[in-house]
Every structure is written in C-alpha cells, then in structure tokens.
A and B are shown apart, each in its own frame.
Chain A
Amino acid sequence: MGFLELNHITKRFANFTAVENFNLEVEKGEFVSFLGPSGCGKTTTLRMIAGFETPTSGKIIINGEDVTYRAPNQRKIGMVFQSYALFPNMTVADNIGFGLKVARKPTAEIKERVKEMLLLIHMEEFADRYPYQISGGQQQRVALARAIAIRPTLLLLDEPLSALDAKIRVELRNEIRAIQQKLGITTIYVTHDQEEALSLSDRVVVMNKARMEQVGAPFEIYNFPQTPFVASFVGTLSILNAEVVNPAQGLLKVDGQEFYGPGGLEARPGDILRIALRPEIVSLKETAADMNRMNVQVQTITFLGSVVRVQVKLETSRMFFDLFNNPSLQLPREGENLTIYFPKSACLVLGK
C-alpha cells in the first residue's frame, strides 16, 4: 500500500472532463512528476490532492486516511505555486513562519524553525526583506521553505520553475531535488517541461487529454514509450512513414530502402506505419553487429552547442540525427552522401 493513493479519480466540470480515472500509488519519500501539455489535467489532479478541488468520483488516501472531502487547511500538505504566492505584506521570515503561527505554535519554536529553513535555502541574510525586494528565484526558494516549514506529509509543486529564467531554473531544480532527498519528503511535481520531469523524478506520470498515458522511471519513459503520445511528447523524434514488407520479421521499407523494426508487427504487408527514431541513436559508424543501414544525402547542418543536428534526405522522406560535438569532429558537408546506422531495436512504432 502506498503512502499516497489516488483511486479512480475523475473530475468533471460543467462541460468537460478534466481528469479521467486516474490511479496512482506513491511510496513514502518518492518524487513523482506529472508531465503533460497544458490542459492535460495534471494541475487539476494536484489541486484535488491539495483539496482545492473535489473529485467527481474516486478516493484520495494519504497515509491510510481517506482525505477526499477534507478541507485544504486540515490536510497538512505543503504547496508551492507557479507564481510564488508569497504574502506581500510579510517579510521572508514571517512568510516562512506563517503556517506555524496560525497553528498557534510558541514564538520561540517558530523562530527556531524559521532559522533552520533559512539555512536550508541559504538565505539567512534575507530574513527581514519583503518579497518585492528579492528576485524571482529567491522568492520561489522562500515559498519552498514556507511549504516545508509546517513539516507537511506531502509536498506539492505546481510548475514552480516556469516563471524563472533558464539558468536559475536549472540551479533551483537541483536545489529542490537536494532538499527533497535530504528531508525524504514525499513530493508531487507538476510540469510541462520534460527535462525537468526526467531529471528530477523517481517516477514520471505522463498525461494527455485528462488521461494517464504512462507511468514509469524516467529511463523507461524515454527509452520505452508505450504510446505514440509519450514517444512524441518526451524527447525529440524523427519520423518516417514506412511501408510494411514482412510484419512477422518486422521488415519495413522507406523510399526503396529496407530496414528492420521490432518483429511481430500488428499490420499487413503494404500498410504504412509511422516509425520514430531518436536523433541521438543514429551513428555514422556500425558500432554493433547487425544494425540497420540507410543511404542518405545531407541537407542542412545546425550547430546546437553540445550536439550537431544533421538533416538528411532519402528520396522524398526526411529525417535528422545528432552528432556529439567535439573539437575534432569532422562535420559532414551539405549535399554529401552518407551511410547511417541504427540498431533494429531503436525503431519506435507510432501506429498508422
């Protein structure tokens, strides 16, 4: 039995369904991300856990207790909002101590806890500042400390980094993970940024159109997407429309060139399937035995920093792949003919 259980959660609003039959068990101390495009129901699910929305049907159980209809202020759940939501009329210290203050804790205890929290987020010298006097990243760290100060059973983060600059985002992301691991606090993290979800989480729940698409560790989600949506939403893909030659063997054909996908395809010869390839899996050398090979012509080369993205053409189909950058890299030239290699297991079938 999990620490947090969501059983058959469904939420319907007047004219649409926001969340449909959501099931999840989260272990104590686990870090789980809800990943999906905006409007997929991830935030609604989070708000139901927090108590701001009540599910139309289903149950929410925390630590063995049914909290489905409990008021938000009785749940002891810490939440961090996208817009920080710091109280503008209070100093950093007062913000952090607010939860303890309304719980009528003794002043000395509040002071002690606030100090501890400030130390945790490395902002000891900002205790007396007001929110408008500190940066966005600092505000969000204070919001995190405020949520943790009450020793919540559960920590909820609703797109906490999306209002920040790229650099601060990565910095704070690592800090959130470090604090979470240090305190061992069970955490649900909502984001639309796959990099965030993959880098932070123990498990990722990919959602689309009110439904869960796949639940799994980041490694599984990225390498073994189980639905076309997950494959296309997580990571970048190059997509080929291939004709099925032999479904049992997984033999496919595109622009006259044959290659192998996974065997036992559920299709008939002559069907057209959408086959996806991760750009980083393609190489210019045969690095293992028995790889697919294809003859292509280079069209454009885009320098992206750590990788170089090469756009190539077969006859009419196009695809792209990435080469890791290093100073001695021999860049292909535009118009050059190349042979590319990729493992048979690398082809993801997205359907017809």
Chain B
Amino acid sequence: MDAGYQAKQLKKDAPAARPSFPRVNWNWLGVAPFFLFTFLFIILPASVIFVGSFQDLRGNFTLDNITGLFTPYILNSYKLTIQVSLVTAIGGAIFGFLLAYAVTIGGLPHWVKSVLSSFSGVASNFAGVPLAFAFISTLGRVGLVTVFLKGLGIDIYNNGFNLYSFWGLALTYMYFQFPLMVLTIIPALEGLKKEWREACENLGASRLDYWRYIGFPILLPSLLATTILLFGNAFGAYATAYALTGGSLNLVPIIIGAQIRGDVLNNPNLGYALALGMVVIMGLMVLLYSLLQRRASRWLK
C-alpha cells in the first residue's frame, strides 16, 4: 500500500467536521424530570443525613456523632445487625445453592426446576408483616409446630429456642433469603458449559479436580455477589423484624425506627450518624457486588 493511498484512506475515515460553536443540547431536557425527582427524594434526604451526622444541635461542625457510634450500645446493635445479615446470607446462600444445584446439575426432571423457580419468586417476595405472622403461627409459643412437638414431649422453648430472638429472626429471614439465592444462582449454574466438564475429563481430571479448578472458581464471583445481595437484603430489613420482635432486638433499623417516633438516643444528631453508618456499609456492599458481578459476567459470556 503506497503512502498516498494510505493518506486518502485516513481522510475518508476521519469524522465529518462539526461546527465548532457550543450548542445547547436539548436532549437533556427529556431526562430533567427524572433527575429532579432523584434529587428531591433520594439525594436531598441522603444529604440531610450526611450533613446532620457532622453537626451538633446548633448546627456547628462536629465529629461527636461519629465518635458516638463507637459506644457499646450502638456498636452492639451494629454487631447484631451484621450477625443476623451474615448468618442468613451465608445460610441462605448455602441452602439456595444446594437447591439450585439439585435442579440444574443434580439430575432432576426439568419440571422441578420451573416449579422451584416459581415458588422462589413468590417466597422471595413474601416478607414483612405477613411473614412474621406466618412464623408466629408456626413456631410461636402456641404455633402449630411448637404445639405438635410439645405433644411429642419436646418443648423447644424450654430447650433454648425462642422465635423472638436472634435465631428465630434468622430462621424467619431465611424464608426470603434462600429463594433469592435460588433465583440468582440458577442462571450462573446453567452458565457452566458442558464442554468445560468434558474438556476437563478429557485431560485426565477427576470430578473433584473439575470442581476444584474450574466449576467452583468460575462460580465463586457469582456466589459471593449473591451472598452480598442477601446480606444487604437482611441488613436493611425493618418490617419483618419489627413485626416479629416488636422492639426487643436491638437491630440498627429498629433503633432508627424508634428514633423517628421519638428521640430514644437523647441526641437527634446521633440518629443521623446511625443512618449514615448503614448507608456506608450498604454502599461498600454494593461496590463489592458490582465488582464481583463484572468479573462473573466477563467469564460467563
């Protein structure tokens, strides 16, 4: 290719020249209402919380609210909330994964998968007050299962179980946690190509080798991402916990709820900092989630 021809090619490929004066882009007007809404009802309240976290009652800058978070009462409530979220996220992830595995790779008939997906869709949306009622009817002090087991001579409430405590709440949260795992991990399991397993076998690898070097590492980002999703799901949950335990468990959302109704912390601005702490934790989770998702989709495409 001679130089002249090349130059001609270059010229042809160059974008058409544009007029150089700046023009108002009217296209932006089309999205203005949405951005206004976002500003008024998401950004503004979030900013109020952010600003309030660093102000004292007279509006002066202070870090007292932030340091106030590091008192035993509030630290414990964060710890409890994180524990409930972690336990239900990991428990839900494991149980959900086993179910999803059973219907995708576990050799069950195809209809089981569609039935499981449908039920999971319903169960993951069945939450809040009615869910609490359902578990009270089942495992409450006069719940059906409690009474039934008592008839067999097993008094679960005498053996340390209490629906209105940590483990009761965790068991209840699991009802919407594991179905969410099922729904998000089925596509990932289906993304494992049959050829990978075959190529693996061909190269002399055992079943265990396959899961160790290929199946599990490929699924790992999706598994972690979904676990984070479940964590966030439980971390922000208010309605189920409130309806189940009233105010007896010191979860962060419950304290914020109480703070809204009356200043239970004896410091209105500490409430802001408490809320800010939740947003920061959730923000970190979402960041981690999108990083992991990006990796997962890169591999599975």
Where the two chains meet, the residues of A that have a C-beta atom closer than 8 Å to any C-beta of B are: 50-52, 71-79, 81, 83, 85-90, 98-99, 101-103, 132, 143, 146-147, 150
Q: How many A-B contacts are there with CB distance less than 8 Å?
A: 76
Within the complex, which residue of A75, A76, A85 is in contact with B199, where a contact is CB–CB below 8 Å? A85
How far is A143 from B200 in the complex, measured between Cα atoms in Å?
Answer: 12
Query: Can you list, as one digit per residue, whether each of B194-216 has a CB less than 8 Å from chain A (1) or not (0)?
Result: 01101111111110010001100
- Could you show 25 A-B contacts with beta carbons less than 8 Å apart? A72-B202, A73-B205, A76-B204, A79-B199, A81-B195, A81-B198, A83-B193, A85-B195, A85-B196, A87-B200, A88-B218, A88-B299, A88-B300, A89-B214, A89-B299, A98-B200, A102-B203, A102-B209, A102-B213, A103-B204, A132-B298, A132-B301, A146-B203, A147-B202, A147-B203
Instruction: Check if A87 sits within 8 Å of B214, measured CB to CB.
Output: yes
Instruction: Check if A72 sits within 8 Å of B198, measured CB to CB.
Output: yes
- Give the dominant DSSP class at B's interface: helix
The answer to whether B217 has its CB under 8 Å from any CB of chain A is: yes
Kindly identify, within residues 166 to 209 of chain B, every residue whose CB is under 8 Å from any CB belonging to chain A.
193, 195-196, 198-206, 209
- What residues on A are CB-neighbors of B218 within 8 Å? 87-89
B21 to chain A minimum Cβ distance, whole angstroms, is 42
How far is A162 from B234 in the complex, measured between Cα atoms in Å?
Answer: 48
A31 to chain B minimum Cβ distance, whole angstroms, is 19
Interface residues on B, range: 20 to 34
How far is A50 from B201 in the complex, measured between Cα atoms in Å?
Answer: 10
Q: A72-B198, A83-B195 are in contact. Are A132 and B299 (CB under 8 A)?
A: yes
- What residues on A are CB-neighbors of B200 within 8 Å? 87, 98
Kindly identify, within residues 76 to 125 of chain B, every residue whose CB is under 8 Å from any CB belonging to chain A.
none
Q: A89-B299, A146-B203 are in contact. Are A98 and B195 (CB under 8 A)?
A: no
A54 to chain B minimum Cβ distance, whole angstroms, is 14
Instruction: Check if A89 sits within 8 Å of B217, measured CB to CB.
Output: yes
B294 to chain A minimum Cβ distance, whole angstroms, is 12
Known A102-B206, A147-B202, A150-B204; further 18 A-B contacts with Cβ < 8 A = A73-B201, A79-B198, A79-B199, A85-B195, A85-B199, A86-B199, A87-B200, A87-B218, A88-B298, A98-B203, A99-B204, A102-B204, A103-B204, A132-B301, A143-B199, A146-B199, A147-B203, A150-B203
- What residues on A are CB-neighbors of B199 within 8 Å? 79, 81, 85-87, 143, 146
- What residues on A are CB-neighbors of B196 within 8 Å? 85, 87
How far is A147 from B204 in the complex, measured between Cα atoms in Å?
Answer: 11
B82 to chain A minimum Cβ distance, whole angstroms, is 30
- Nearest CB in chain B to that of A74: its residue: B204
- What residues on A are CB-neighbors of B209 within 8 Å? 102
Instruction: Check if A73 sits within 8 Å of B202, measured CB to CB.
Output: yes
A75 to chain B minimum Cβ distance, whole angstroms, is 8
